[in-house]
Structure 1
Amino acid sequence: MTSVEEGRPRPLLARASRRWVRLLPWAVAFVLSVALLPTTIVVLTADYGLGGGLASALAVAQAAPLLLAVVHPLRAWYVIFTADVAGALALLTVDFEARLLWPFPPMGIVGYIGLCLALGLRERRRTLLLVWLATAAANVGLGFAAPHAFGAKGLLLTILGGVALLLGGVLRERHEVQRRLAEQETISEAERGRRTLLEERARIARELHDVVAHHMSVITVQADTAEYRLAALPPDVREEFTSIAATARESLGEMRRLLGVLRNEEAHGELVPQPGLPQIAQLVEATARTVGPVEFSPCDAEVPEAVGLSAYRIVQEALSNVVRHAPGAATRVSLSVSAPVADGGDRLTVLVVNGPPPKPSAAPLEVGGTGHGLVGMRERVRIIGGTLDAGPLPDGGFRIAARLPMTETDSP
């Protein structure tokens, strides 16, 4: 519960989320000061027989610094500890009854316990140990000068002060452990999200590698065979085709060297042709056998391989979410081509909508989600220059709508 901002100590419990908890140390310190100040004066004068002026000075020195203890408990301890020892020595100058506590009257013990609790909430173990040793040494040392029999009652300040220091230290360390755990959980969640994003980018890069490699290979083959397929090519045109083939082959090699490291040698399944729009029907049919009927509106439009692959992955992730979170819910998958937009070109609209799960259904496979699937969708859509809108519906369902460009675009 130590708290220092820009070199200035903050009050005890200043980081608490609730306002009444933040005000609690001030309230306790105020109540103790107001209650102990007049009580100490009355007891020291009426019961112990100390002079009014000296009793008032000791009362102020022992009670007022409790307000300082909310922000600077160690500084307050120096003042109060000195005042308590001075008060014990002052009582040696008067004749008081043996039944009264000495060297520290009850009011001083109560204030000192509150001070020790504040010290425990702020200071480290070494400081707390030194405070307790100083308290014990002063208590035992004064015992040798006791005007009456010195017994266990005379050590109350040492015993109760030690308990308060221990309690405050335990509470402080428990708070520190909880704070560090919360910080670590926050860092871990951020790292998990970043790792998921990087994994999805790597997966997209591998898939785009396959798509681009296919096109580059076609360009290379067509350029290499042009002189055999086309009769009577002029020499300069033949040299141009040869240059195109060489450039395409070199670019293909560079791309494979840069992106080939993203392939997992054990992931043999990724070496097969990547799915596109035609395979979505099979995906919907397989999902329908798992969660129930799925309404599907196909689209036969010709789209780039990267767009078709992205549409397939979006539908795949959306249907997986239905299986995990809303088994048995009515689901609709729609593929359509929208009219040209302001930035030019038609858009492929991918729409996946599911209703709330039916009441008498099995429990969902997952109660909560991490949102990593949506992160992957947004990253995939962003790379090909599309847009994604995803969110819950008022009836408890969920809607995912993606608009993908029908032509190749540069990633933002």
Structure 2
Amino acid sequence: MKHALEAMIDAALREPAEPSRHTLIWPDRTWQRLAAMFVAVALGIGLAAGSIAIYIQQYHVPLTLAWTLGAAQAFPLVAAARWPLAAWRIMVAGLLWSCLAIGAGVEFMPWAVPAIVALVFVLFAVGASYSSRIAVGTGLVTAAVLLGVGISTGRIVPWFGMILAGIVVVTLLFGNAVGGRHQALELLDANEELRRQDLAKAAVLEERSRIARELHDVVAHHMSVIALQAEAAPYKIPDLPPPAKDTFELLRDEARRALTETRRVVGLLRSEDDSAERVPQPGLDRIHDLVSAHDGLTIDLRITGMPRPLSDGVDLSAFRIVQEALSNAARYAPGASVRVEVHYGTETLRIAVRDDGPKSAPEHSGGGHGLVGMRERVALFGGTLFTGPQGNGWAVLAELPYDGQHDPRGDR
């Protein structure tokens, strides 16, 4: 009993008239809000006019009172889309006023039918916009007015009052169910969006770890060369001054330390079943082997421009981009004709992989993280990347600077 009384007080007095969140009745998008307002205004004006006419013709109340009752009981529907609880409070006050203003002896009830219809719309809005507690309080207050005051004052037939109370209960339950489902779908969409963001972040981290593991071999090679050359220098250069020998020894020791630390860090990035690479990392010199490995595609390889030596990182990234683009073509465009173009420009290496679309239904519908890896590799060297539909197929266009001196932290 205590909880029911508190729910009635909250609904009638305490709860803010505007819902604390966007609801089915007052959605997020502007055009949906305009549509809701248009419907509410049209219904509010129409039902208020109908109520006024019935009060004048059927209940024979004075013109001023008819206008007042009709406006109080139906016109608040105009504001129900934004402030459903405020509209309900005004309408309940108008219903209570009718019980006191209209004399006894009415046929069924002291309210116009359009006013009851407006009340049904507002009760649905309240049930869909507020918590179950407020919906219960709203129903109890409305039933108290319809049954308690109406029957006790003889203004309403008891059996008809019970019908109206049943309509109130069903309307609130339906509105609360619809509003709860709408809120659950919004929460599900929000969680799904968070999941997609988490998966995207995890994919980026995974690809960066993979790139770091691959580039470790490149860095380790250079550091090993530095250490070996520094150690061999005293034997290659006769009569080397002691300060120079000390410098070479320091250079050798620092190179070895750097190599050890690099291996330790990359070891943390490797999973338990991910062993270290035992073969040299590939480059564009193996692109013909890569092309011949994809039997399900018709591949046209074109290399233009003047080939030039590439840094190990750029060479490896270019190979991986072509590899991933061909893998995606084989996965999502089986039987397609693919053109692979490698152009040695003046300052950049340009890679283009284009297919003409699948010739049969792809076996794979889900997406991997290949595009993420391409973006990370291109961003590492300050290049550009385009991936997207082109013609009937898909295109991957990458451009990598030769120097590879870009600092990726500047883009973060």
Asked if Structure 1 and Structure 2 have the same fold, meaning a TM-score greater than 0.5 normalized by the shorter chain, the answer is yes
Does residue 208 (structure 1) correspond to residue 215 (structure 2)? The answer is yes
Give the drift of 1:10. 7.6
**Mapping for residues 147-186 of structure 1, pairs under 5 Å:** 147=154, 150-186=157-193
Give the drift of 1:61. 2.1
| In structure 1, distance between residues paired with 2:332 and 2:212 | 29
| In structure 1, distance between residues paired with 2:300 and 2:365 | 22
Residue in structure 2 matched with residue 75 of structure 1 by the alignment: 86
Counterpart secondary structure, 1:332 = strand
Could you tell me whether the CA contact under 8 Å between 1:132 and 1:161 is conserved in 2?
yes
Could you tell me whether the CA contact under 8 Å between 1:350 and 1:402 is conserved in 2?
yes
Residue in structure 2 matched with residue 26 of structure 1 by the alignment: 37
TM-score, normalising length: structure 1 = 0.83
Give the drift of 1:131. 1.0
Give the drift of 1:374. 2.4
Give the drift of 1:11. 9.2
| In structure 2, distance between residues paired with 1:315 and 1:325 | 15
Does residue 353 (structure 1) correspond to residue 354 (structure 2)? The answer is yes
TM-score, normalising length: structure 2 = 0.83
Does residue 393 (structure 1) correspond to residue 390 (structure 2)? The answer is yes
Cα root mean square deviation, aligned: 3.1
- Amino acid corresponding to residue 116 of structure 1 in structure 2: L
Could you tell me whether the CA contact under 8 Å between 1:304 and 1:408 is conserved in 2?
yes
Residue in structure 2 matched with residue 302 of structure 1 by the alignment: 309
Could you tell me whether the CA contact under 8 Å between 1:103 and 1:139 is conserved in 2?
no
Counterpart secondary structure, 1:290 = coil
| In structure 2, distance between residues paired with 1:123 and 1:296 | 65
Q: Give the fraction of aligned pairs with identical amino acids, expressed as a percent.
A: 37
| In structure 1, distance between residues paired with 2:214 and 2:231 | 26
Could you tell me whether the CA contact under 8 Å between 1:11 and 1:70 is conserved in 2?
no
| In structure 2, distance between residues paired with 1:186 and 1:109 | 42
| In structure 2, distance between residues paired with 1:55 and 1:356 | 71
Could you tell me whether the CA contact under 8 Å between 2:314 and 2:402 is conserved in 1?
yes
Distance change in 2, residues 1:246/1:41 (3 Å): closer
Q: Which runs of 5+ in 1 are unaligned?
A: 342-346
Does residue 101 (structure 1) correspond to residue 108 (structure 2)? The answer is yes
Which of 370, 379, 382 is equivalent to 1:382?
379
| In structure 2, distance between residues paired with 1:101 and 1:382 | 77
Greater Cα offset, 252-261 or 294-303: 294-303
Greater Cα offset, 146-155 or 246-255: 146-155
**Mapping for residues 11-410 of structure 1, pairs under 5 Å:** 13-15=25-27, 17=29, 19=31, 21-91=32-102, 93-96=103-106, 100-102=107-109, 104-142=111-149, 144-145=151-152, 147=154, 150-268=157-275, 270-287=277-294, 289-295=295-301, 297=303, 301-339=308-346, 341=347, 347-357=348-358, 361-367=359-365, 369=367, 372-394=369-391, 396-410=392-406
Distance change in 2, residues 1:95/1:377 (3 Å): closer
Give the drift of 1:144. 4.6
Give the drift of 1:247. 1.9
| In structure 1, distance between residues paired with 2:209 and 2:405 | 19
| In structure 2, distance between residues paired with 1:390 and 1:150 | 72
- Amino acid corresponding to residue 265 of structure 1 in structure 2: E
Give the drift of 1:215. 0.9
Counterpart secondary structure, 1:363 = coil
Q: How many residues align?
A: 391
Distance change in 2, residues 1:373/1:227 (3 Å): same
- Amino acid corresponding to residue 128 of structure 1 in structure 2: A
